[in-house]
Amino acid sequence: MFTATLIAAQNFDAGDISAAADHVASAGAQVLATRWVEPNKALDVDFSGDAVAVRAAVEQAFVATDAIVQPTAQRARTLIVADMDSTMITIECIDELADYAGIKPQIAEVTERAMRGELDFESALRSRVALLKGLPEAVIAQCLAERVVIMPGAKELVRTMRAHGGHAVLVSGGFTRFAEPVAAEIGFNRAIANVLGIRDGLLTGDVEGEIVGAATKKQVLEQTRTALGLGVDDSLAVGDGANDIPMIETAGLGVAYHAKPKTAAAAPARIDHGDLTAILYAMGYPRAAWAMAV
């Protein structure tokens, strides 16, 4: 049995739950049950049939609505591994550091291409960091205070999963100086990211050690799952860039969040309209079951 969860960016009308069942049936599936996860905001349709066909049917039928289709028995995941920039926070940190250096357009273009999968991530990161050489270390704290905004729904998502016995890891192709405080604020168990070279209060233009890229993100997901004794179906991965694709494809449920086209195409689930709380609805948690952010 599968469940199609539909989450409205605004609100559903009273008749939309029956309309959703009709569209599921139009894909050749047998509708088994319908219910509100959250009245007028999120609904479930349980069915047996072709999950891919059902997802296509409901996505086409409902405008400004996110649809996540998954096996019913596996929907309440225990492990979340998440990207940071443009996923758990609203910005790309390296672009904002570049703004303080007066070279944001130059770096932001490379960031965009790397996130689209048009450039090798590791080479693109090293080349961008090199352009920050000589930037005062103090700018990092300034950028963190002035520019970093937590993505809507991030705290609710991570804290709710942990409140229900889950484990959360932030794994970022960005930098520890941002990832560690962001992880602490949101509620992650730990953070993994790149280390900026700093000497005498200035950025050296280097990344210390191995780059945290696509392979590392996938490895963190697999190793954490194994360490916790979890199965593949217990895991959830969420990200927006091409370097998130391997972990998205490896997770029990991979979610592309307001993602680049290549990432969205690779993911079995997408959130294009709502915020990160859409994932909570997809796991069957109404607002009353959330660990609310403070």
Q: Catalytic residue numbers?
A: 83, 85
Do the beta carbons of residue 238 and residue 257 sit within 8 Å? yes
| Strand partners of residue 167 | 79
> Contact at 8 Å (CB) between 151 and 90?
yes
φ and ψ at residue 135, rounded to 5 degrees: -70, 135
Indicate the residue type of 187: G
Residue-wise burial string across 167-202, b where 16 or more C-beta atoms lie within 10 A, e elsewhere: bbbbbbbbbbbbbbebbeebbbeebbbbebebeeeb
Cα of first residue to Cα of last residue in the chain, in angstroms, is 37
Going 86 to 89 to 94 to 100, the CA torsion angle's sign is positive
In sequence order, which residues have a C-beta less than 8 Å from that of residue 265 and are 6 or more positions away? none
Q: Are 218 and 182 in contact (CB under 8 A)?
A: no
- In order, the DSSP letters of 235-290 are EEEEE-SGGGHHHHHHSSEEEEES--HHHHHH-SEEESSS-THHHHHHTT--GGGS
Q: How far apart are CA 253 and CA 209, in angstroms?
A: 30
- CA-nearest of 182, 205, 206, 203 to 192 is 182
